[in-house]
Amino acid sequence: MSVLKKFFKDTIIYGLATVLPRLMNFLLVPLHTGKLATTSYSDNTTFYVYAAFFNVLLTYGMETAFFRFFNKSDEKDKVFSTTFISLVVTTILFFLIVVFVFNQQLSIWLNISQKYFNILLGLLVLDTLVVAPFAYLRATGRPIKFASIKIANILIYVLLNYFFLWAIPKFNINVPYYDESDLVQYIFIANLIASTVTLLLLSPYFFKTKLEFSKRVFKQLINYGWPIMIAGLAYVINENFDKWILPYLLDKDINGAYSGCYKIAMFMTIFIQAFRLGAEPFFFSHSKEVNAKETYALIMKYFVIVGSFMLVFIISYLDIFKIALVKDESYWQAISIVPIVLIANLCLGIYFNLAIWYKLTDKTRYGMYLSIVGAVITIAFNLFFIKRMGFIAAAWATLAAYGVMMVLSYIIGQKHYRVPYDLKKILGYLTLAIVLSIITLNTNGNYYINTFLVLLFLGNVILFERNELKRLLKK
């Protein structure tokens, strides 16, 4: 099997582990937006903003550090066991300190109810404990096992959501202590149960190798990982600061509508996450190959082609996605953010692709610097413009942050680890996609014209890439 075919095979399988759960999550968007008022949907969003922030804090870059040293180390078992022990110890310490010392104070400081905070705490512990086992499955080339557990997790979560929010009220099922006035709590409870099952499924991997903690390996991991953690925290800010600040600068109703419409851009997010899951281990394991840089350049071009096509396709049929996913019309007041957020996420995907230069050269501090730049732009743009422009400013802030990060990463990266990216074609496809998307937004929902524009983009890809595609498929 050629290197590229292996890459695409793993990416497809890992993609299924991401795409299927996300697609199943799409089943929840109509449920949540139909059952929850925009204010309650805002509470749901805020809960997961905090979950994302603490998840990065509790893993402190160890997952990426694990991939880096697991692939190049002759002591693979020691790398895994050190990573695992480190995460288990710090997670338990975090849990004990928060429960017995700062429980009430943190709940008040985060401005969420004590009940929600306790569920959040349990969820954080469960999700952090499975980071090392999941990473081990990816690093040892077990995508099917990885995908199976991920899909089981989301299946339980989705079914419980429908049970709590739809089945119980519809069929008058008698459930002790069921509270119809606080439906959002059952989304969190469903997540907690699904994460518990995931932990049980992965428990055999807790003892897959001899548990041995190496101070030397830990020092390597932490030195590599802490800039990744800072970059991760900055990324959480870039992704979620808008949804955190909107209730304060505007109101929870606007934030709920904004967050609901933001979900339509999830298609691009799914694609990017699937790519990352398959690409990160591949980039590290392939880095010593003679033609590694040419392979990275080729992957980038096709990443942009697929991402650009998705941009044109989603915007062309935006009204259909809007009706299918966000049924409550009170959410549609924020639908104008979708094209901007889609382009922003595409820029983010390109940035992740470019990020190989600082990961492969062990200069992860640059990832930290770039993410901090993005976070500063996000915070400043939101604080300055939301009061002046309304919620649309939050979407533009996301695009500005990711656009700047993408450009800076390319410029700096080419100085440290030059990859022969085909800029002419990459910029050409991006420009074509954006132009066609703008046209579709002005056709008044004429699907004949929009479909023609989608086919026009595909026609250009076939015209310019047909010879290379034939050559790659023959390998």
Looking at the chain, the whole-number percentage of residues with pLDDT higher than 70 is 91
Identify the residue with better confidence: 449 or 19. 449
Out of 145-149, 206-210, 397-401, least confident range: 206-210
**C-beta of residue 105 within 8 angstroms of C-beta of residue 36:** no
Give the structural domain span for 321: 3-474
**What's the pLDDT score for residue 8?**
61
**What's the pLDDT score for residue 385?**
96
Q: Would you say residue 414 has pLDDT above 50?
A: yes
Range 356-378 average pLDDT: 88
Measured CA to CA, the distance from residue 36 to residue 190 in angstroms comes to 16
Question: Number of structural domains, the chain?
Answer: 1
**What's the pLDDT score for residue 387?**
92
**What's the pLDDT score for residue 436?**
96
Looking at the chain, the whole-number percentage of residues with pLDDT higher than 90 is 56
Whole-Å CA distances, 426 to 196, 298, 370: 43, 10, 22
**What's the pLDDT score for residue 138?**
80
**What's the pLDDT score for residue 77?**
83
Q: DSSP readout, 377-438?
A: HHHHHHHHHHHHH-THHHHHHHHHHHHHHHHHHHHHHHHHS-----HHHHHHHHHHHHHHHH
Q: Would you say residue 105 has pLDDT above 80?
A: yes
Range 371-392 average pLDDT: 94
Identify the residue with better confidence: 143 or 36. 36
Measured CA to CA, the distance from residue 48 to residue 188 in angstroms comes to 9
Contacts by 151-154 with C-beta closer than 8 Å and gap 24+? 151/16, 151/17, 151/20, 151/21, 152/197, 152/198, 152/201, 153/21, 153/194, 153/195, 153/197, 153/198, 154/20, 154/21, 154/24, 154/25, 154/194
Range 447-469 average pLDDT: 91
What DSSP character marks residue 211? -
Selection from 343, 344, 323, 345 nearest residue 335 by Cα: 323
Q: At which residue do the structure tokens 């933001």 appear?
A: 262
Q: Would you say residue 70 has pLDDT above 90?
A: no
Range 401-412 average pLDDT: 96
Range 26-37 average pLDDT: 87
Model-wide pTM > 0.85: no
**What's the pLDDT score for residue 96?**
92
Measured CA to CA, the distance from residue 67 to residue 293 in angstroms comes to 19
Range 116-133 average pLDDT: 94
pLDDT digits 0-9 by tens, 76-103: 888 889 999 999 999 999 999 988 888 8
Q: At which residue do the structure tokens 């190959």 appear?
A: 289
**What's the pLDDT score for residue 1?**
46
Measured CA to CA, the distance from residue 450 to residue 444 in angstroms comes to 10
Supply the mean pLDDT for the chain: 88
**C-beta of residue 366 within 8 angstroms of C-beta of residue 412:** yes
The distance of Cα 350 from the centroid of its chain, to the nearest Å, equals 14
Q: At which residue do the structure tokens 């699904």 appear?
A: 194
The distance of Cα 217 from the centroid of its chain, to the nearest Å, equals 28
Range 404-422 average pLDDT: 94
Selection from 359, 358, 466 nearest residue 412 by Cα: 358
Identify the residue with better confidence: 461 or 291. 461
